[in-house]
Amino acid sequence: MSDIILTTEGVAKSFGKFRALSGITASFPRGKLTAIIGPNGAGKSTYFNLISGAFPPSAGRIVFEGRDITGTAQHRYAALGIAKSFQITTVFPQVTVLENVRVALQALVSRFNIWMPRGDLAGLAEKAADLLNVVGISQHRERLAGSLAHGEQRALEIAMALASNPRLLLLDEPTAGMSPEETRSMMDLIVKLASERTVILVEHKMKLVMGISDRLLVLHHGELLAEGTPDDIRRNETVKRVYLGQREH
């Protein structure tokens, strides 16, 4: 297997006249944790949305495991082996925590069966319980997802993303809006997940990811400003200048 899992070749995105992202070429090594950082408005989320398939790029190609996936419909990503969590929490609030994950697992086996009882799909509930264990919220399995604390909902979302057993996990600001304790346990979880699969995460707070990332991509004004190991980035003069005067959150 190639040691590059994903490459973007000159991907760009414009919204009307506004150019959110201009031609970004980068590759992501397999099995590593890569963080995409940058100040507000740098184009991080746009870049994330392009590689996670939320919308197609205006130009350029996205290649996953040697296969051009540019413009692939969002719902096919799970089967490709790519899963994501959103910047804003997206769970199914009026459904139990366990059923949230069970539905996510079900997507791989049954989508249009209108006749059999859903409980008869063997093994899904057990697998869902396992995933809840992995993210550490199994004690809440029977509660409605909407009643969970913010940090727990984010953890649930990651459990749902893991349901398709993705080779590439994309996380958009996984600690957004979290308390310091929640942030710490989320970071631990991410490190644990990254030991088993490739993780790309977008983060606004540079400090947070410096310690855990293998590689960093710095975006600024819709362009790739720098890339390299955390040490490279720390030493990079341009990056310093961009972040200087910007208060660290």
Partner 1 sequence: MLPAEFVARCKRHRVVLSVVFLLIFPLVMPFKAIAVNILIYGLFALGFNLLFGTLGLLSFGHAALFGGGAYACGIAIVHYGAPWWLGIFAGLLGGMLIAAIIGALAIRTRGIYFAMVTLALAQCVYFVAYQASDFTGGENGLRGIDVRDINLFGLHINFVDPLNRYYVVAAFVAAALFVLSRILASPFGAVLEAVRENEARARACGYDVRATRFVAFVISGGFCGLAGALQALHLSIVPIETLYYQTSGLVVMMALLGGMGTFFGPFIGAGVFLLLENLVSLWTVHWQLVVGAAFVACVLFFPRGIWGTILLGRAK
Q: Which is nearer to partner 1, 54 or 210 (CB)?
A: 54
Q: Which is nearer to partner 1, 27 or 96 (CB)?
A: 96
| CA-only gyration radius of the chain, Å | 18
Using CB atoms within 10 A of its CB, is residue 79 exposed (0-12), middle (13-18) or buried (19+)? Answer: exposed
| DSSP string for 40-58 | TTSSHHHHHHHHTTSS--S
Q: How far is the CB of 119 from partner 1 (least distance, A)?
A: 8
Q: Which is nearer to partner 1, 73 or 244 (CB)?
A: 73
Q: How far is the CB of 181 from partner 1 (least distance, A)?
A: 25
Q: How far is the CB of 46 from partner 1 (least distance, A)?
A: 16
d(CA 34, CA 26) in angstroms, rounded, equals 11
Q: How far is the CB of 152 from partner 1 (least distance, A)?
A: 16
d(CA 32, CA 227) in angstroms, rounded, equals 14
Q: Which is nearer to partner 1, 109 or 229 (CB)?
A: 109
Strand order in 215-220's β-sheet?
Answer: 82-85, 168-172, 198-203, 33-37, 215-220, 223-228
Q: Which is nearer to partner 1, 102 or 204 (CB)?
A: 102
Q: How far is the CB of 12 from partner 1 (least distance, A)?
A: 23
Q: Which amino acid is at 108?
A: L
Give contact residues for partner 1 (rule: CB under 8 A).
73-79, 83-84, 86, 90-95, 99, 102-104, 106-108, 110-118, 121, 157, 160-161, 163-164
